[in-house]
Chain A
Amino acid sequence: MLYTILAGLILAFAAPLLYRLLGRFISVPMVVLPAVLFAYFCTFISPVVAGQLVMQEYSWIPSLGINLQFMLDGLGLFFALLITSFGVLVMAYAGAYLKGDSHLGRFYLYLTLFMTAMLGVVLSSNILCLLVFWELTSISSYLLISYKHKYEVSRASALQALLITNGGGLCLMAGLILLGIAGDSFSFIELLQQRPDLLNHSFYLPIVLLIMLGAFTKSAQFPFHVWLPNAMAAPTPVSAYLHSATMVKAGVYLLARFSPMLGGTEVWNYTIMAVGATTAVVGAFLALQQLDLKAILAYTTISALGSLVTLIGIGSTFALEAMLVFLLAHALYKGALFMIAGTVDHATGTRDTTKLHLLGKRMPLLSAAAVLSALSMAGMIPFFGFLGKELLYEGAFEAPRFAVPLTAAIVFSGIAFVAVAVRLGYGIFFRKSANEATHIAHKPETFLWLPPLLLGIAGLVFGILPNITVAPILSAAAGAVAGSEVHLHLALWHGFNPILMLTILTIILGIVFYAFTNIFTTWPVHLERLYKIGPGELYYTLKNSLSIGSKGFIESVQSGSLRYYVAVIIMTFIVLVVGAIWQEELYRVVTPDTFIAALSDIELNEYILILLMVPATIFVCLTNSRLIAITTMSLVGYAIALSYIFFGAPDLAATQFLVETLTAVLFVLVLHKLPPFVPLVKYKTNAFYLSLSVLFGATMAYVLVMVRQFPLDSELKAYFGATSWLEAKGRNIVNVILVDYRAFDTMGEITVLAIAVIGIFSLLKLYPEKGDQL
């Protein structure tokens, strides 16, 4: 499974290059990859359905318990199949939708990167590994939303999505780390076995709340739902893929994944139920008021996500089965409807439902796809949406507690779905109206109507023949969530029961709501004052106050004076060291005798160093010439290098010599550009800094004398000495530490160096002319 991820990453980063090579045929390799992955995952269906758990493990940072552990159980396989099959359709659709776009290669990079990250999320069984992929989906979503980066709306929406989902991601990280500490493992399987301990652990509440925050932000639950409608600024293939079928379901996946480990408690069930039901109602309520095709779909997606989350909150085996069936049904029809909205937009140039009329006859295949998807969305027999909705109602109806409010919330959302489905499947395509039929600029090409049509047909086929198509994998998935074996039997006809009555009621009320569409769409004007205090406005208030606050904070802390910074660092250091000495009563070790003993240890060659350094230091402070100051400072540096040689550290000494020389040379290079030296600082300030330096020196000397009183024994030194030649095959321990034992540190250091030079470069090169390009 590592190779599926690697293949995705490699192809993603090769996409811009491929676009240059293949031109518009770039969609071919991009479609082939998810197709191959889909086939690959299909080979796992029979073992997984038989109850087998496929595991793979690669060590990554074993000392921290972070390993690339992959696991394929029912839930993971279900999602992997969903992601790859939608990947095929969306990649093909995107090629036609963005035909001729000069950045298509980049678009495929982001989209494939997202697909890979999403696969990583559903396959990981190490929770930190999961987190890495989780964040990667947020980032690729950010890049995709801001794809049309020339528009300010796109950039602002992308930033909003990033801030909200990554804010949740940070919470999730904290939650997962706490979980790892509580369970003493980062492996999902091991944590799962510790469920009783975890439930009684004192970290349980923070863990659950933090993980929920991560899931709720990702799955656009109230009040974090605001980013999803704005994310519709992305090109439509992105909306179809990320913001309806897969990424927003990552939150649902996360809750489902953790529910056998952490679920079943009151906090878990009631919080999730409450948030989910609220979201379902709010999303449905807002969806009715929209005019824009994609906005309508976005709000119904929020509502559907709310229903899914509610079902996880109910937590019974039946509710979890219902959740998975509804999830699949929703992905099928919503993905298709998004693509249809995109095609309509592409063909007519507008997404405003008041301007779209009578498209049906001129785009017959597209309208067929729209009708199929809309019927599935409305929950008509014999579509898969009907099964999804039936189970959804039943799950809520049979909830152990709060069945009535939950059912009411979900039925309300169902009514809104019917109203919206009629608007999308009938309103813009067939409804006779006084207005003229909308002008179609160009007819949609094959790949603009084929993917949604395929999804629509899949909805019909799955609905008629559920048990031989999707039921086995759904049962395996439900089994993984419920933690026990599940045999799902789906049937269209359950007889005349209350659920069927509710469905009929929903359809009737939905058609009534549809008739009053014109009234609903005027509501945003009336409710303006309510929306002013809603989460959308709250986000902007928070964001603005954050930037104002941080600006004030930076202005008060960052004075821009190097001397001030050094002084602050030194003062903090002195306070900490003196405090530690005081608290540990270490001053008892140091007596006047120890000072005398320390002084008597100094040898002759060391006196020479002192004779070099001390006068040079004093001279640096007194001179008015920069050139002299620099050369004298180099003298001090060379003396330090010499002392390294005396104490047997040739590597360090060589580096010190070189760096000292280079510093002097670099100084000389810029010296003639500086204005003549004028002592501007007052006498008093100088005195303050002088006394601070003396105090610092005295503290260091005192600490050194004190350290001498303790025996210096280091296990590491012996370990390095013993293993350097035998295991790391090097005699120079310093170098072996740098490139082998502590190579990760070195890696960090050279990265910092690289970043520093970019900083220096941009400061020196770009400052004079603002807006200069790198």
Chain B
Amino acid sequence: MKTIIISAALRLFFPLFIFFSFYILIRGHNHPGGGFIGGLILVIPFIFHVLIHGADETHDKLFLKRVYSLRRNEQESDMNYYLRNIGYRLRGLVPWYSRPDADKVLVKQFVIEPLHIIPVGLSLSLLAGLIPLFSGEAFLTGLWAKAQLPLIGKVGTTLLFDIGVYLLVAAVVLKITLVMSKE
């Protein structure tokens, strides 16, 4: 189902979905939203990606992070080379900018496995439960920091708990989607 319109639209909407899901997660304590809904929204662009490009390409493009450097020119000074590389990396952050492939070298390769995010989310939630134990409260008692963060507002262990739920739900749905759409 590779259509150029959805594929182009997804490029634009991808960061939007991610920010929106995070917004839903943060506002959850006072308005409709929260970790569960936020997590579900977070996976929407990924699922679109799978639908458009197929699971293998999604895996290669979104979960396989390759770090490239430029090929070094002959007799190039260190400074110049580093500066060129920094510019090259920065350009990589712009979603619609495709970099020339000819003169780059693979430096490192990371794989993000959704199955591994599940325990991370679970441990964050568990951690939110364990923190109050140190101040003598019962397991999973909500504790709140005195200071407020800009944009996010009050920070407490319940937010940490919700972030755990958010990550776990997103990873669970993502993993199911990836497994099911593979041949």
Q: What is the interface of chain A, defined by CB distance below 8 A to chain B?
A: 58-63, 650-651, 654-655, 658-659, 662, 665-666, 669-670, 728-732, 734-736, 738-740, 743-744, 746-747, 750-751, 753-754, 756-758, 760-761, 764-765
Residues of B within 8 A of A (CB): 28-37, 40-41, 43, 47, 50-51, 115, 118-119, 121-122, 125-126, 128-129, 133, 136-140, 142, 144, 154, 156, 158, 161-162, 164-165, 168-169, 171-173, 175-177, 179-181
A728-B175 contact in complex given A58-B133, A735-B29, A747-B125, C-beta closer than 8 Å:
no
Residue of B35, B41, B47 near A665 (CB, 8 A) is B47
Could you tell me if A753 and B176 are in contact, using CB atoms closer than 8 angstroms? no
Question: Is A732 in contact with B33, judged by CB distance below 8 angstroms?
Answer: yes
B76 to chain A, nearest CB (A): 38
The one of B51, B121, B129, B179 that contacts A743, using a Cβ cutoff of 8 Å:
B129
Are B33 and A735 closer than 8 Å at their CB atoms?
yes
22 contacts between A and B (CB under 8 A): A59-B136, A60-B138, A62-B138, A651-B33, A655-B37, A659-B40, A729-B142, A732-B29, A734-B32, A734-B34, A735-B28, A736-B158, A739-B142, A739-B158, A740-B158, A743-B142, A750-B164, A750-B165, A753-B168, A757-B171, A757-B176, A761-B179
* Complex CA distance for A758 and B179, rounded to whole angstroms: 11
Closest residue of chain A to B115, judged by CB?
A761
Top 7 closest A-B pairs, CB basis?
A: A730-B29, A650-B32, A658-B40, A731-B30, A735-B34, A739-B158, A743-B140
CA of A728 to CA of B162 in the docked complex: distance in angstroms? 14
Q: Cβ of B51: which chain A residues have Cβ within 8 Å of it?
A: 665, 669
Task: Write out the residue numbers on chain B whose beta carbons fall within 8 Å of the beta carbon of A59.
Answer: 136-138
A652's closest neighbor in chain B, by CB? B32
Q: Are A651 and B34 in contact (CB under 8 A)?
A: yes
A753 x B32 contact (CB < 8 A): no
Verify A731–B31 contact, CB threshold 8 A. Answer: yes
Give bound CA distance, A765 to B180, whole Å.
10
CA distance A765 to B125 in the complex (A): 28
With known contacts A61-B139, A62-B138, A750-B122, A764–B31 Cβ distance under 8 A: no
Cβ-defined contact, B133 with A757, below 8 A: no
Which interface residue of A63, A662, A665, A744 has the most chain B CB atoms within 10 A? A665
Task: Determine the residue in chain B with the shortest Cβ distance to A747.
Answer: B125
What CA separation (Å) do A157 and B142 show in the bound complex? 45
Taken together as a complex, chains A and B put the C-alpha atoms of A203 and B165 apart, in Å, by 43
| B165–A751 CB distance below 8 A | no
Distance from A749 Cβ to chain B, minimum over Cβ atoms (Å): 9
Q: How many Å from the CB of B170 to the closest CB on chain A? A: 11
**Candidates A651, A666, A739; contact of B32 at CB < 8 Å:** A651
The residue from B30, B122, B136, B176 contacting A730, defined by CB atoms under 8 A apart? B30
What A residues does B139 contact at CB under 8 A?
Answer: 60-61, 744
Note all chain A residues with C-beta closer than 8 A to B156: 729
Q: How far is B171's CA from A754's CA once the two chains are assembled, in angstroms?
A: 9
Name the distance in Å between A424's Cβ and chain B's nearest Cβ: 48
Q: Tell me, rounded to whole Å, the shortest Cβ–Cβ distance linking B158 to chain A.
A: 4
Contacts A62-B138, A662-B173 given; indicate if A732 touches B32 (C-beta within 8 A).
yes
Q: Which residues of A contact B31 (CB under 8 A)?
A: 731-732
A179-B99 Cα distance, complex, nearest whole Å: 71
Q: A669 CA to B52 CA in the complex, in Å?
A: 12
Interface of B is mostly: helix
Shortest A505–chain B CB gap in Å is: 58
* CB-defined contacts of A728 to chain B, threshold 8 Å: 142, 158
Measured CA separation A735–B159 after assembly (Å): 11
Checking B28, B40, B177 against A732 with a beta-carbon cut-off of 8 angstroms, the contacting residue is B28
Is B37 within 8 A of A740, CB to CB?
no
Contact A60 B121 (CB under 8 A): no
A655 pairs with B36, CB closer than 8 A: yes
Inter-subunit contact B29/A757 (CB<8 Å): no
Smallest CB separation, A741 vs chain B (Å): 9
Contact between A729 and B144 (Cβ–Cβ < 8 Å)?
Answer: yes
- With both beta carbons as reference points, the residue of chain B lying nearest to A666 in the complex is identified as B180
Beyond known contacts A740-B158, A747-B140: 18 more, CB 8 A cutoff:
A651-B32, A658-B37, A662-B47, A666-B177, A729-B142, A730-B158, A731-B30, A732-B30, A732-B32, A732-B34, A735-B28, A738-B35, A738-B36, A739-B142, A739-B165, A743-B140, A744-B129, A761-B175
Question: Given A61-B138, A654-B37, A739-B158 in contact, is the A731-B179 Cβ separation under 8 Å?
Answer: no
Q: How far is the CB of A96 from chain B (nearest CB, A)?
A: 36
CB-CB under 8 A from A730, the residues of chain B are: 29-30, 158
Known: A654-B37, A735-B29, A738-B34. A753 touches B136 (CB 8 A): no
Q: Which residues of B contact A654 (CB under 8 A)?
A: 32-33, 37
Q: Closest B-chain residue to A774, C-beta based?
A: B115
Minimum CB–CB distance from A760 to chain B (whole Å) comes to 6
- Contact status B29-A750, CB under 8 Å: no
- Shortest B34–chain A CB gap in Å is 4
B180 to chain A, nearest CB (A): 5
Question: How far apart are the CA atoms of A59 and B133 in the complex, in Å?
Answer: 7
Chain B residues with Cβ below 8 Å from A732 are: 28-34
* Contact across chains for A753 and B172 when beta carbons are under 8 A apart: yes
In Å, the complex CA distance between A721 and B35 comes to 21
Task: Collect the chain B residues with CB atoms within 8 Å of residue A659's CB.
Answer: 40
Q: Identify the closest chain A residue to B118 (Cβ).
A: A754
- For the complex, give the distance between the alpha carbons of A658 and B32 in Å: 14
Q: A662-B47, A729-B156 are in contact. Are A60 and B33 (CB under 8 A)?
A: no
Q: How far is the CB of B112 from chain A (nearest CB, A)?
A: 16
When C-beta atoms are compared, the residue in chain B nearest to A760 turns out to be: B176
Bound together, the chains give a CA A756 to CA B177 distance in angstroms of 14
Docked-complex contact A669 and B177, CB < 8 angstroms: yes
- Give the CA-CA distance A756 to B175 in the complex, in Å: 11
Q: Are A747 and B126 in contact (CB under 8 A)?
A: yes
Cβ of A631 to closest chain B Cβ, rounded Å: 16
Pairwise interchain contact B162-A739, C-beta atoms closer than 8 A: yes
Flag if A765 contacts B158 (CB, 8 Å): no
Judge whether A729 and B47 touch: CB under 8 Å: no
Distance (Å) between the CB of B155 and the closest chain A CB? 10
Cα A670 to Cα B178 in complex, Å, equals 11
Q: How far is the CA of A321 from the CA of B165 in the complex (A)?
A: 55
Pairwise interchain contact B122-A729, C-beta atoms closer than 8 A = no
Docked Cα-Cα span, A761 to B174, in Å, equals 12
Taking CB atoms, residues of chain A closer than 8 Å to B136 are 58-59
Report Cα–Cα, A27/B57, bound state, in Å.
47
B34 nearest CB neighbor, chain A only: A735
- Measured CB to CB, the closest approach of chain A to B41, in angstroms, equals 7
- Chain B neighbourhood of A746, CB < 8 A: 125, 161, 165
Tell which of B35, B119, B138 touches A739, judged by Cβ atoms closer than 8 Å: B35
A60 neighbours in B (Cβ, 8 Å): 133, 138-139
Give Cα A750 to B164, complex, Å: 9
A747 touches B133 (CB 8 A): no
Q: Which residues of A contact B34 (CB under 8 A)?
A: 651, 732, 734-735, 738-739
B129 contacts which chain A residues (CB < 8 A)?
743-744, 747
Q: Is the CB of A750 within 8 A of B169?
A: yes
Report how far A63 CA is from B47 CA in the complex, Å. Answer: 43
Q: How far is the CA of A12 from the CA of B30 in the complex (A)?
A: 41
- Complex Cα–Cα for A651 and B139 (A): 26
Contacts of A757 on B, CB cut-off 8 Å?
A: 115, 118, 171-172, 175-176
Contact status B125-A669, CB under 8 Å: no
- List chain A residues, Cβ under 8 A from B172: 753-754, 756-757
Contacts of B169 in A (CB 8 A): 750, 753
Set A736, A758, A765: member contacting B29, Cβ < 8 A: A736
Which residues of chain B are within 8 angstroms of A734 by Cβ–Cβ distance? Answer: 32, 34
Residues from chain A with a CB closer than 8 A to the CB of B128 are 743
Check A750 against B125 for contact (C-beta < 8 Å).
yes
Q: Is the CB of B122 within 8 A of A751?
A: yes
Contacts of A758 in B (CB 8 A): 115, 118
- Which residue of chain B lies nearest to A67 when distances are taken between CB atoms in the complex? B138
Query: A200–B28 Cα gap in the complex (Å)?
Result: 54
* Complex-state Cα separation, A711 to B144, whole angstroms: 38
